[in-house]
Structure 1
Amino acid sequence: MQINRLFEIVYILFDKKTITARELAEHFEVSKRTIYRDIETLSMAGIPIYTNKGKGGGINILPEFILNKSLLSGSEQDEILSGLQSLSALNVPSVDPVLNKLATIFNKKNASWIDVDFSHWGSDDSEKEKFKLLKNAILEKNVIIFDYYSSYGEISKQRFVEPMKLVFKGQSWYVYGYCKLKAAYRMFKVTRIKNLAASNERFNRDLPKDILDTSDDSYKTQMTTIVLKIHSKMAYRVFDEFSTENITRNADGSFIVKSTIPESDWIYGYIMSYGEYAEVLEPIHIRETIVNKFKEGLKKYL
């Protein structure tokens, strides 16, 4: 108990600079005499603590002590705190106490600079709980179980997966892991995961060095280059979803966008999400498919 109290006294002095023996005694629920003995112990250990009597006095620690005892430059301290704050934003367990103590030791008043929310806009708490469960399963190496909807709308029940990493790619979140059903590594889109639960089963599999260089056939989909003409009203989406070097602006304000993407059914829904504001210029077969899909959809309203 005394060792913990001694450490905390030092942290408090780093933070407050000056504090009275009475305040410390009330904080630790001990007598003032005990606090004075603690101060003497710290002084004998080489901690430069001193007391000032009179109005405004109290127990102090030399401000130079932080700098003299630090082996890190100011920028290095900032980098450490920034890294810890990133972990804190992801709700990694036991990070906040370490962050708070180092921020006090480094004399940094504002260590908070980032906030991360994995859920999409408009989602409820269940979406946040999904990411929390995935994070814990990855860190604790627990097998997860879920139902999954493929890009074709087909559902597969009770997929047992060893989750290894959360991946953000192409404006979407994915879980990368080893699928026991397919006996291979797979990437699962988080929004298509339903009825997610963690099991008590643990796994010891190591994460591959290059998670995209696996036996997963989903990465071997034929690639195609599309050219789109997109109305100026969709500028916000154009710059959100395409690289600047692939965007050309016309005199009328519209955009010509060229992009190489996997050719699968999802691309039709994506292009059609632009409604009347996008036109496929190339390739012809995708343009014709889009036309036919619009015609079939229109029949439902006629």
Structure 2
Amino acid sequence: MKLERLIAMIYKLLHHEVLSASVLAEQFQVSQRTIYRDIDVLCAAGLPIVSYQGSGGGYGIMNGYKMDKSLLGAYDVNSLITVLGSLSTVFQDQRAQSTIERLQNIAPEHHHSNLAINFNTYRTEPHALLFLRQGITDTRVVRFDYINANNEHKAREIEPLWLHFKYSTWYVQGFCRTRQDYREFRLSRMMNVELTEEHFQAHPLSPQEPIHAEQEWNTLLENILIRVAPQALSEALDQFQQADKEFQTDGSMIMRIPVYQPLEAKWLRSTLLSFGDGIEVLEPIELRSILKQQLQQALNLYPEV
């Protein structure tokens, strides 16, 4: 797209002192002759581009020319740069990097962001995010093996529509051809992710309207009550951030935690048991019984001890 190339070229020239025609041609994947024509167009539009001759020569913006920075404030620009920088690292997205360069041109000088974001991917299979992002962009089918909440191993084939990051984990939403319905998959449980060459038709589902199961779950939450020992406070606070908390005189803490179907929530049992004697469940009584039974089953694995 010529217009998009011209806009990108303006930002590059603003960000760099001097760029040669060969460098610009390589970056935009066009001939040097095309770059010369683009420079003529930009000069005709009133942009003060100067040609520098000799070794290290090329094109640059006239000294003293500044781009209007009034549209975005320092906070806006630096926050956008930080977020885009994290995403460009995760997805190896050259377009995001190009946008960062443009934003850096309108960022106030000597002003640094006080925000840092890390969209870590250590829980996901290598290249899984890249394949899924490409599948969404190119409307291509993705195949993978999946371990569901019941520990069942199933091969899945989806038409990916949406990637989102929540609870420190990446998820993908799309149309599952196995279930013939929209489903959400946790990337940490996906294996052997494959981006196929098969294309699918765009879905009527708006990309601004992802499938949020939480909207339905909020009406089905039940509270559990736990006592956290002093030596387990930091870990419990990390794990149960949305709990109501109350300190006790002995240094322990009572937490009231809203959980969706707590008696069926396997993740909850595993989490509570991982604290050992650092956490005691007070309510519901049925959950205490379930945990006691699981502890006994675990002890039965070590009869010789």
- Could you state the TM-score of these two structures normalised by the residue count of structure 1? 0.70
Counterpart residue type for residue 245 of structure 2: I
Q: Could you say which residue in structure 2 is the equivalent of 1:85? A: 85
* Distance in 2 between residues matched to 1:290 and 1:298, nearest whole Å: 12
Question: Separation in 1 of the partners of 2:100 and 2:192?
Answer: 35
Aligned to 2:199: 202
- What's the counterpart of residue 241 of structure 1? 239
Distance 1:72 1:12 in 2: 20
1:131 equivalent in alignment to 2:129: yes
In structure 1, runs of 5+ residues without a counterpart are 30-37, 53-58
Task: Give the counterpart letter for 1:95 in structure 2.
Answer: A
Larger Rg over CA atoms: 1
Deviation at 1:285, TM superposition (A): 0.6
**Equivalent residue, structure 2, for 1:301:** 302
| Corresponding residue number in structure 2 for 1:55 | none
Q: Does 1:289 align with 2:290?
A: yes
Which consecutive unaligned segments of at least 5 residues does structure 2 have? 26-37, 53-59
CA RMSD of aligned residues (A): 4.2
TM-superposed CA distance for 1:148, in Å, is 1.6
2:161 aligned residue (160, 164, 167): 164
| Cα pair distance change 1:231/1:12, threshold 3 Å | same
Q: In structure 2, do the counterparts of structure 1 residues 206 and 128 end up closer, same or farther at CA, with 3 Å as the change threshold? A: farther
Quickly say closer, same or farther: Cα 1:96–1:210, change in 2 above 3 A: closer
Q: Distance in 1 between matches of 2:276 and 2:205?
A: 41
Give the residue type in structure 1 aligned to 2:165. Answer: F
Q: Quick check: 1:15–1:104 contact (8 Å CA) kept in 2? A: no
Tell me the secondary structure at the aligned position of residue 127 of structure 2.
helix
Name the counterpart of 2:187. 190
SS at match of 2:246: strand
**TM-score normalised according to structure 2 size:** 0.70
Deviation at 1:71, TM superposition (A): 6.4
State the Cα distance separating 1:154 from its structure 2 match. Answer: 1.7
* CA distance in structure 2 between the aligned counterparts of 1:163 and 1:51, rounded to whole angstroms: 47
Q: CA deviation at 1:9?
A: 9.2
Cα 1:290–1:94 shift into 2, 3 Å: same
Secondary structure of 2:256 counterpart: strand
Amino acid in structure 2 at the alignment position of 1:292: Q
Q: CA deviation at 1:63?
A: 1.6
Question: Is residue 211 of structure 2 the alignment partner of residue 211 of structure 1?
Answer: yes
Map of 2:121 onto structure 1 = 119
Deviation at 1:298, TM superposition (A): 0.8
Matched, 1:141 2:139: yes
Shift of 1:61: 1.6
Q: Residue type matched to 2:164 in 1? A: V
Q: Could you tell me how far apart the structure 2 residues matched to 1:202 and 1:28 are?
A: 33
Note the C-alpha offset of 1:282. 0.4
Q: Distance in 1 between matches of 2:24 and 2:178?
A: 56
2:259 aligned partner: 261
User: In the alignment, which residue of structure 2 is the partner of 1:15?
Assistant: 16
C-alpha contact 2:141 2:159 (8 A) present in aligned 1: yes
Residue in structure 1 matched with residue 276 of structure 2 by the alignment: 275
Deviates more, 1:199-208 or 1:7-16: 7-16
- Work out whether residues 66 and 106 of structure 1, in 8 Å CA contact, stay in contact via their aligned partners in 2: no
Alignment of 1:2-151 (within 5 A): 11-12=12-13, 15-16=16-17, 46-48=46-48, 61-67=62-68, 72-75=71-74, 77-78=77-78, 81-82=81-82, 84-91=84-91, 92-104=93-105, 114=116, 116-120=118-122, 127-151=125-149
How far, CA to CA, are the matches of 1:166 and 1:96 in structure 2?
Answer: 19
The alpha carbon displacement at 1:281 in A equals 0.5
Q: Summarize the Cα distance change of 1:171–1:282 in structure 2 as closer, same or farther, 3 Å threshold.
A: farther
- Deviation of 1:279 after TM superposition, in Å, equals 1.0
Q: Distance in 2 between matches of 1:39 and 1:165?
A: 39
